[in-house]
Amino acid sequence: MKELTSLKNPVVQAARALDTAKERTRQGAFLCDGEHMAGEALTVCPERVRTLFVEQGCEERFAALLAKAPAGAEVYAVPGNVMAAISQVKTPQGIAAVVELPGSVPLNEQTGRLMLLENVQDPGNVGTILRTLDAAGFSGCILTPGCADPFAPKALRATMGSALRIPITFAEDTAAAVRSLNERGYATIAAALDGEPFYEREALGEKVCVLIGNEGQGLTREAQTACTHRYKLPMRGGSESLNAGIAAAVMMYDLMNR
């Protein structure tokens, strides 16, 4: 284990910069901040862990995690002020990992039940949906360019590590992606306020993809037209719509159970 004490050290500066999308893309990496997220990275994809930072005095506390560090990773002990600068939260937990970004999974390699997000801009919603689809037993997620970055700090924290486990496809064109899934025998479901009642749907099988759109505008007309089905959740109270993450969760769990 090496020591780093200066905020001006290039390794520290590179880690600090990972809170911006530009730097995540340039470095091909993101930061797993805290005991849970660093632990997830070291368990799920240890081969992608490039660097580990541990706050001085916390080495014994995190000994089990540090033991999982892959042979090629650099491990640094840093003082509290350096850890605070690297960390993306107000109260650092004393450990963080720089992890290599995964590549976009080719769409034709995505199988099972899927979720497609079109222009979902809130990183909390993107992260929550990834966490929920992981919990519900869906197999993968497709994101369009207008979506929040799932490896941004807020989104990543909301995933609670699911972004490390779920295959993600970054698709350039929603309608084209939907048509490709249709050709493979998928039932593609547009969540639409003027769709058919969701709970009165026909049996759809395992090859299903749910589409959730932008928080304010919903799915584009092109995306809806490309889908094989359009469904709405019942609104029995005064609200006209549901939060994107909640709507996705309700639909995913019901599709898994029926």
Question: What pLDDT is stored for residue 139 in this prediction?
Answer: 97
Give residue 242's pLDDT band: very low, low, confident or very high (50, 70, 90). Answer: confident
Among 80, 76, 93, CA closest to 33 = 93
Give residue 258's pLDDT band: very low, low, confident or very high (50, 70, 90). Answer: confident
Question: What pLDDT is stored for residue 104 in this prediction?
Answer: 96
Identify residue 137 by its one-letter amino acid code: G
The model's pTM is: 0.93
Tens of pLDDT along 142-182? 999 999 999 999 999 999 999 999 999 999 999 999 999 99
Tens of pLDDT along 4-16? 999 999 999 999 9
Give residue 241's pLDDT band: very low, low, confident or very high (50, 70, 90). Answer: confident
Give residue 239's pLDDT band: very low, low, confident or very high (50, 70, 90). Answer: confident
Cα gap 47→162, rounded to integer Å: 17
Residue spans per domain, the chain: 2-100, 107-257
Q: Mean pLDDT score of the chain, rounded to an integer?
A: 96
Q: What kind of fold does domain 2-100 have according to CATH?
A: 60s Ribosomal Protein L30; Chain: A; (3.30.1330)
Tens of pLDDT along 103-135? 999 999 999 999 999 999 999 999 999 999 999
Tens of pLDDT along 61-93? 999 999 999 999 999 999 999 999 999 888 999
Question: What pLDDT is stored for residue 179 in this prediction?
Answer: 98
The answer to whether 114 and 138 have CB atoms below 8 angstroms apart is yes
Question: What pLDDT is stored for residue 238 in this prediction?
Answer: 82
Give residue 49's pLDDT band: very low, low, confident or very high (50, 70, 90). Answer: very high
Q: Which CATH architecture has domain 107-257?
A: 3-Layer(aba) Sandwich (3.40)
